[in-house]
Amino acid sequence: MSLKRKMILSLVVGIVLLTISIAWPKSNYLSGYKPREPQGSVTTSTPVSPTPASKPHWVAAKGEVAFPPQGIPILYYHSIANLPGNELGVPPAQFDAQMQYLHTQGYTTISLDQLYAALTKGAKVPRKPILLTFDDGYPDNYSVALSILERYGYTATFFVVTSYMQPRQGMLTWPELSAMSDYGMTIGSHTVHHLNLSKLPLAQQSAELSQSKAEIQRHLGFATPYFCYPYGGYDPATLQMLRQTGYKLAVTTDSGVVEPGDNVLRLKRIYVNGLKNLAAFKAKLAQLTQQAQRLQEMYQQGYAAFFQHKYADAIGLENAVLAQDSGSAQAYNVKGIAQCYAGQFSAGMANIDKALAINPDYGYARFNKALAYELYGQYANALNWYNRDLQIENYVWSYYGIAAIYGRKADVANTVKYLKLAINLDPEVKQVARTEADFAPVHNSSLFQALLQ
């Protein structure tokens, strides 16, 4: 796509990019771009520059954002009670003060459903979202915490150990959990026996996941898709079994906030220590959210440099992000595609693969892998990865990429098929396609011309 076409498309959609200080990438849902075919040898020449279709990466609308620049914190508690010397117990007055602070700071609680939609579908969230979670199923979660949460209009998720729910265990009861669910609270699984899954045989791991889920469904009438790892323990097999058992999101004990590109089965949280005062609570929340925002601003600078064809700058900025956060799928992804456009195909693909190792379902990385293959003329691989992206997201530029490859092959039927799917998602694609060089071999086809009318 030429620079002229990029500018035309930008005018047609009537949107300009916001400044880097507030820009936020919404995975690849709002960052479509298409390469032209490389000139000369596809294995040795420097690829042409990308020409992005400029769309917003961070858009305010009705008090909501695509993803907040400070990330999304998930706080986790255990008991809301006075437990002298025990950090798992947050005194009720202290918990109330924390909720009051969050409320005065403009934080809005969101559900795990909303968080999942934001991470996987680009759904908008409030400007300052936060999640509150409680582990284990202490009885005071119902008798104390619930009324305080309601006072501030907050909701929370309660991860329960199902064997603890038996009579005379001194923990939450099934009727209490049912009432909490009716109040709008989310109930998730914390296994059957609260064992470290990473230390269990596979069969026992599987039983802990499936039986706890079944118990929740039997008593509460729904199959929870949410899970919390006891002691934060898991291994690669655990992640696979979670998917097979029907869980779609899981939280860890790793410290940090949730950011775009994070693996939905390995989400970080912020531990609330009952022995720390309100000042320490405020400081910890501020430190983690401010650090996340600084790194995201740096990531965005690298992202912008890539779109300005400043590949060395983009690579350097993403390296700076990775030096402070080696688990940033976003940074590996943008570094990788920048390297591919800079003629460093092998190194670039290795970094995109690192992003996918962190989060196999990261749509933007799947798309960039397809894009890089297309850029270097490896069309079979490109088609495979565009289709793999479409397995998890209905993305206009993946359909367009497939259409462009078939266009180069003079395959009219498939070009029209996939271009129509792209146009159905975004009618402005028609204007791009009318002058796209990739479609020259099919341009005079009556089917192609009819589609663009």
Q: How far apart are CA 86 and CA 346, in angstroms?
A: 52
Which residues are CB-neighbours of 369 under 8 A, at least 6 positions away?
A: 349, 352, 353, 356, 385
Q: How far apart are CA 268 and CA 250, in angstroms?
A: 9
Q: What pLDDT, on the 0 to 100 scale, is given for residue 20?
A: 29
pLDDT tens, 200-241? 999 999 999 999 999 999 999 999 999 999 999 999 999 999
Closest CA to 321 of 117, 25, 52: 25
Q: In CATH terms, is domain 74-255 a member of 3.20.20.370?
A: yes
Q: What is the DSSP letter of 442?
A: G
Q: What pLDDT, on the 0 to 100 scale, is given for residue 17?
A: 29
Each domain of the chain, given as residue ranges in start order, spans: 3-61+293-451, 74-255
> Is 60 exceeded by the pLDDT of residue 3?
no
Q: What pLDDT, on the 0 to 100 scale, is given for residue 63?
A: 65
> Is 70 exceeded by the pLDDT of residue 19?
no
How would residue 13 be classed by pLDDT, with cut points 50, 70 and 90? very low
> Is 70 exceeded by the pLDDT of residue 25?
no
Q: Kindly state the average pLDDT of the residues 294-308.
A: 95
pLDDT tens, 53-84? 332 232 333 467 889 999 999 999 999 999 99
Q: How far apart are CA 226 and CA 139, in angstroms?
A: 20
Q: What pLDDT, on the 0 to 100 scale, is given for residue 23?
A: 31
Q: Kindly state the average pLDDT of the residues 88-106.
A: 98
Q: What percent of the chain has pLDDT over 90?
A: 83
What does the chain come to in residues? 453
> Is 50 exceeded by the pLDDT of residue 32?
no
3-61+293-451 has which CATH code?
Answer: 1.25.40.10
Mean pLDDT taken over the chain: 88
Residue 189 burial by Cβ neighbours in a 10 Å radius (0-12, 13-18, 19+): buried
User: Is 3-61+293-451's fold the same as 74-255's?
Assistant: no
* 379-390 vs 363-375: helix crossing angle, rounded to 10: 160
CB 71 within 8 A of CB 38: no
DSSP codes joined into one string, 335-389: HHHHHHHTT-HHHHHHHHHHHHHH-TT-HHHHHHHHHHHHHTT-HHHHHHHHHHH
Q: What pLDDT, on the 0 to 100 scale, is given for residue 403?
A: 97
pLDDT tens, 302-332? 999 999 999 999 999 999 999 999 999 999 9
Q: What pLDDT, on the 0 to 100 scale, is given for residue 66?
A: 84
Q: How far apart are CA 381 and CA 391, in angstroms?
A: 15
Q: How far apart are CA 119 and CA 175, in angstroms?
A: 32
Q: Kindly state the average pLDDT of the residues 244-248.
A: 97
Q: How far apart are CA 449 and CA 453, in angstroms?
A: 6
pLDDT tens, 377-417? 999 999 999 999 999 989 999 999 999 999 999 999 999 99
> Is 80 exceeded by the pLDDT of residue 50?
no
